Amino acid sequence: MPGQILVTGADGFIGSHLVEHLVRAGRAVRALVYYNAFDTRGWLDHVAAPVRDAVEVHAGDIRDPNDVRRALRGCDAVLHLAALIGIPYSYHAADSYVDTNIRGTLNVLQAARELGVARVVQTSTSEVYGTAQSVPITEEHRLNAQSPYAATKVAADQLALAFHASFGTPVVVLRPFNTFGPRQSARAVIPTVITQIAAGSRRVRLGSLAPTRDFCYVADTVRAFAAALEREEAVGEVINVATGSEISIGGTARVIAEIMNAQVEFEADPARVRPAASEVERLCGASDKARRLLGWVPQTAGPEGFRRALGETVAWFTDPANLARYRPGSYTL
């Protein structure tokens, strides 16, 4: 698909990697980043200079419909990643998740409809499925939001599909499972394990250790987004981005400790444990539809691929310049 691409949430973890991927593929990118008085651009401030210099940056707010319209004007497609994603914080600030995740998505959809944008890729999450009722989880699995965050993502996805059904808006709903890699927030489990060990702790504090997750390396995730721009057969569809492999949180932590050659003990910190009925106990996704509609196959699936991707992630986080950006000794919602 020719023309300029708007990436919302470009200042975040996945968004910044996606911007890099698109720029290096020769695409024209406009990055919507969250406006702030310091003129900081999140992780885009830390990408390679040639990438930064190639990107047109629009500082704004996804919650403002006029600003979203301005950001999208002149673009042929939008990859919509802007969202509040922290599950624990959604227990405390559900209104802000409604405003950002639902209203923000509505703003993108209405602007795309008005401007005749050729492709809208809505970012979903595996959390909308809740605890797996069957595995691997296909796109037909029932939706079961177990947190306010997940509920807002269900609503946002349904809005996107409703715009496709009602107005023919060319929407693709992409549903990544547990993406990880360099630059991820330490609110996620893999960075919190790595940063605690790297800071010298030998008693690593986590939430529940038993739940399983389907971890997908960020390089794989962004390739799925790029493919969703190109494939006409993906329009109107919900598509998982998953590896089909699962590992427990405790098992993940042990692999990280092995990679880092650290002898550590893991303990469940009550402050990090979700309410019992809100914990998603099992996630393992099917990727057959992504393979069929996007031509996408994860390159880091299975134990060997996962370990290799974890190694790259550990190398990034343990670089002193990167580790200094985190606070391993504290827990923030």
- Full DSSP string of 39-100: ---GGGGGS-HHHHHHPEEEEE-TT-HHHHHHHHTT-SEEEE------HHHHHH-HHHHIII
**Residue that wins the pLDDT comparison between 271 and 307:** 307
Are 44 and 133 within one domain?
yes
Q: Is the pLDDT of residue 88 over 70?
A: yes
Asked if residue 62 belongs to a domain, the reply is yes
Is 90 exceeded by the pLDDT of residue 91? yes
Mean pLDDT, residues 204-209 taken together? 92
Q: Which two tokens stand for residue 246?
A: 């699962």
Distance CA 192, CA 43 (A): 18
Amino acid at 102: I
The torsion angle over the Cα atoms of residues 44, 174, 217 and 48, rounded to 10 degrees, is -20
315 and 235, same structural domain?
A: no
> What CATH number did the domain enclosing 307 receive?
3.90.25.10
Q: What is the pLDDT of residue 267?
A: 87
Domain count, the chain: 2
Domain for residue 304, yes or no?
yes
Residue 293 lies inside a defined structural domain of this protein = no
The pLDDT of residue 231: 97
0.95 exceeded by the pTM? yes
Same domain, yes or no: 43 and 94: yes
Residue 302, both tokens? 């299975």
Co-location of 98 and 223 in the same domain: yes
CATH at 18: 3.40.50.720
Q: Which residue range(s) make up the domain with 312? A: 189-213+246-281+300-323
133 and 34 in a single domain? The answer is yes
Instruction: State what percent of residues in the chain have pLDDT above 90.
Output: 96
Q: What is the pLDDT of residues 19-76, one digit of tens each?
A: 999 999 999 999 999 999 999 999 999 999 999 999 999 999 999 999 999 999 999 9
Six-digit token pair at 117? 């944008």
Same domain, 232 and 314: no
Q: What is the pLDDT of residues 226-253, one digit of tens each?
A: 999 999 999 999 999 999 999 999 999 9
Residue 59 lies in a domain: yes
Domain contains 258: yes
Tell me: pLDDT of 1 over 80.
Answer: no
User: Does residue 295 fall inside a structural domain?
Assistant: no
